[in-house]
Structure 1
Amino acid sequence: MAGRITKSEEQLKPDPKFKDKVLSRFINCIMQDGKKSVAQRVVYDAFDEIEKRTKGKPEAIEIFHMALDNVRPSVEVRSKRVGGTNYQVPMQVNKKRQQSLAFRWIITAARADRGKPMAQRLARELLDASKGEGKAMNTRDQTHRMAEANKAFAHFAW
């Protein structure tokens, strides 16, 4: 049954180390083939790497949340068909989708950078995103630019 409300929000347990539900969801997004312990090790090793690079100020969990806040998009373009023509219509993004897009962009950027262990790539991407740079931030900026360019079609958003 499509559109059914699930209890996934209630069932999600906070991660064991930091007791943070957002981080727990991020670990679930990193996870491949159901290997949660591997995903946890990757994320916690990335956090250790961040702690090393920043000398503990600010803490890794704070950098993680800063990176997420910076990468979250506020608008995106959606395709609407009006009178036989497809328009790219800029629309507001709800909170849940903002978070999932930020997760996706950070993970995709980290996976695209080959040659180093995933923990180091993830640490670098999180540090870059917390400073407002990096591949994930470029993706967000492109999304915002696209929405700005198609602002003329905003009246089609209904």
Structure 2
Amino acid sequence: MLEIYVNARKTIVLKNAILDAIENGQYDTLADDIRDCFTDEQITQIEEKLDTDDIDETIDNILSEWSSDSADELFDALVDAMAEVDIELNFDNLTDIPDDVLNGDLYDDENMADDDEDEDFEEEEETEYYYDDEDEDGDEDEDEEEY
């Protein structure tokens, strides 16, 4: 049995693409997103096992049978379709990945952390400086005085 492993990054990208397609009702690029989760070498290996020798046709068939309701259902359909041709397809375990990463909010959270740091900086007590051009004798004084 041929084993194909899809790493976490590609699994996250595919899961987000599926969730976006479900949310927006736009499925036209989903076949490309599925294909993109595989390396060229993996595609060649898959096509050698397929009856049609065409991964695009197989992906189109999987998508046409998919109910378009659940990302997990599509992942299961992909795994099942590959199992039928003696390929063990494994996606990285999504249960260990936080929802904010799956939903593409990773960068927003990092930016929020940066914003929080900025707020902490702004909240620090500011020392005010001002200059007194003349000291008590009426002479000019260039030293800063802190109040």
Is the TM value for this pair above 0.5? no
Larger helix percent = 1
Structure showing greater radius of gyration is 2
* TM-score normalised per structure 1: 0.27
